[in-house]
Amino acid sequence: MNKYVERVLNELNTKYPNEVEFKQAASEILNSLVPYVEKHPELEKNKILERFVEPERLISFRVVWERDNGEVEVNRAYRVQFNSAIGPFKGGLRFHPSVNQSIIKFLGLEQTLKNSLTGLPMGGGKGGSDFDPKGKSEREIMRFCQAFITELYRHIGQFRDVPAGDIGVGAREVGYMYGQYRRICNESVGTLTGKGITFGGSLARKEATGYGLCYFTEEAMKEILNESFNNNIVVISGSGNVAIYACEKAIELGAKVVAMSDSDGYIYDENGIDLALVKEIKEINRGRIKEYINVHKNATYVEGSSGIWTIKCDIALPCATQNELDLESAKILVKNGVKAVCEGANMPSTLEAAYYLIENKVIYGPAKAANAGGVATSGLEMSQNSSRLQWSFETVDNKLKEIMINIFKNCYQIAKEYGNQYDLLKGANIAGFEKVSKAMLEQGLM
């Protein structure tokens, strides 16, 4: 291991003993940057890695709101403004009971490299709260979103920091937050992305992460294996925004998707998932994935979501959450002949799982590259807002496809340059970091 990288990782251990997810992300990134760091002594001299892993700003705040029955609730919330060297902070907001400082920091660090890979001028940020949207009424969701923005509004802005959605935050929540932001600031400048289409949202933003994941995977299959989605069997974890639109595009590209999940369990349908039904259950009724078998009696439901990786498939698309695919799952996937594992979720594979897939010559599409289509299209939403225009679905979708193909080519090129065409993880980390570190060096000490 490189001494400089080792020292920076050791310092993180001492400073942040409890931030497990953050240190996992930092270790994955820094270890793969070693060959680049060794070629660029100016990085150590200017303490670029030390600066790169320390967020520019970390805001932690209280959110107080009221239940329908008059009960008062108190939640913790965060916004990490990680790195603005190449543009305004940009990244989603996550509402989930597991949210803590470590998770928000890992997401912010990843976002910095992801946004750099899109080729658009966006820095990295992330935020969220330990608020659990499950079981809350529509009005409770609205009151929480309003209370959240009543604190956060002072820290964001179209040129400063532009939040969007993530787990538990979709168009509904973005709508309530944007409404409150507009009310407080008295301006309509599009400060959040993922907005409704009637008030500045971009067509194809809803589909973008899932579609982009498939564009990336399709290009990788074509380049590396001279294959495509066509006639391949696909397993997708999750059944939220990313999973649903990954499923839609994979089917359109000729694949058969046989399994999806939520945090309770997974469904397996050997005839191919009925996506219209999944949309009805999850998007319209906000129900549970097990309801699927009430309609499709041939399908099976299994409690517990991690077993989904035991299903034999050609392409696996983890689209639920961090660390959902461990070494044991990776071994089963490889044994079953998987050709590609591309990540729709952020850091869904554990470090050991990712390295195992790369070693076994599986096409491994790391999250920061493979799921960058969502934030890239958020960048396109910002462009449309600034120019007071709304582009057609086709225009946005074409730009998205071009961006995803470029991201793959860039990562693949660098992976090959550094000696292993299957190490797209190294490719992505170096490609993303090169631009950010140059921008930091050129802008002086800060």
Q: Any idea which residues carry the catalytic annotation?
A: 126
x/- mask, ligand 2IT, residues 292-331, rule CB under 6 A, reads ----------------------------------------
x/- mask, ligand NDP, residues 198-227, rule CB under 6 A, reads -----------x------------------
Contacts of 427 (CB under 8 A, 6+ apart): 369, 410, 411, 412, 413, 414, 415, 416, 418
Site stretch for ligand NDP (CB under 6 A), options 68-76, 159-167, 250-258, 429-437? 159-167
Question: How many residues lie near ligand 2IT (CB under 6 A)?
Answer: 12
Shortest Cβ 19–ligand 2IT spacing (Å):
18
Residues 189-227 as b or e (16 or more Cβ within 10 Å = b): ebbbbbbeeeebbbbbbbbbbbbbbbbbbbbbbeebeeb
90 binds ligand 2IT (CB under 6 A): yes
User: Which amino acid appears at position 197 of this protein?
Assistant: I
Tokens 């509004």 -> residue: 153
Contacts of 96 (CB under 8 A, 6+ apart): 128, 130, 132, 167, 168
Q: How far apart are CA 446 and CA 444, in angstroms?
A: 6
Altogether, the residues listed in the chain come to a count of: 446
Shortest Cβ 236–ligand 2IT spacing (Å):
17
**CA diameter of the chain:** 64
Alpha helices in 186-326 (DSSP H): 205-225, 241-252, 275-279, 292-295
x/- mask, ligand 2IT, residues 101-120, rule CB under 6 A, reads ----------x--x------
Q: Which one of ligand 2IT, ligand NDP, none interacts with residue 246, CB within 5 to 8 A by kind? A: none
Q: Which one of ligand NDP, ligand 2IT, none interacts with residue 241, CB within 5 to 8 A by kind? A: ligand NDP
Q: Which one of ligand 2IT, ligand NDP, none interacts with residue 48, CB within 5 to 8 A by kind? A: none
For ligand NDP, the binding residue among 19, 44, 166, 227 (CB under 6 A) is: 166
CA dihedral 403, 406, 411, 416 (to 10 degrees): 170
Between 4 and 82, whose beta carbon lies closer to ligand 2IT?
Answer: 82
Residues 98-137 that bind ligand NDP (CB under 6 A): none
Is 268 strand, coil or helix? Answer: strand
Contact call for residues 348 and 93 (beta carbons, < 8 A): no
92 binds ligand 2IT (CB under 6 A): yes
Residues 325-364 that bind ligand 2IT (CB under 6 A): 346
Centre a 10 Å sphere on the Cβ of residue 138 and count the other Cβ atoms it contains. 10
407 binds ligand 2IT (CB under 6 A): no
Centre a 10 Å sphere on the Cβ of residue 304 and count the other Cβ atoms it contains. 11
Between 32 and 371, whose beta carbon lies closer to ligand NDP?
Answer: 371
Structure tokens at 322: 């961090």
Shortest Cβ 41–ligand NDP spacing (Å):
34
Shortest Cβ 237–ligand 2IT spacing (Å):
16
Q: How far apart are CA 374 and CA 367, in angstroms?
A: 11
What residues line the site for ligand 2IT (CB under 6 A)? Answer: 90-92, 111, 114, 164, 166, 193, 346, 374-375, 378
What residues line the site for ligand NDP (CB under 6 A)? Answer: 165-168, 170, 209, 238-243, 262-264, 305, 319-321, 324, 344-346, 371, 374
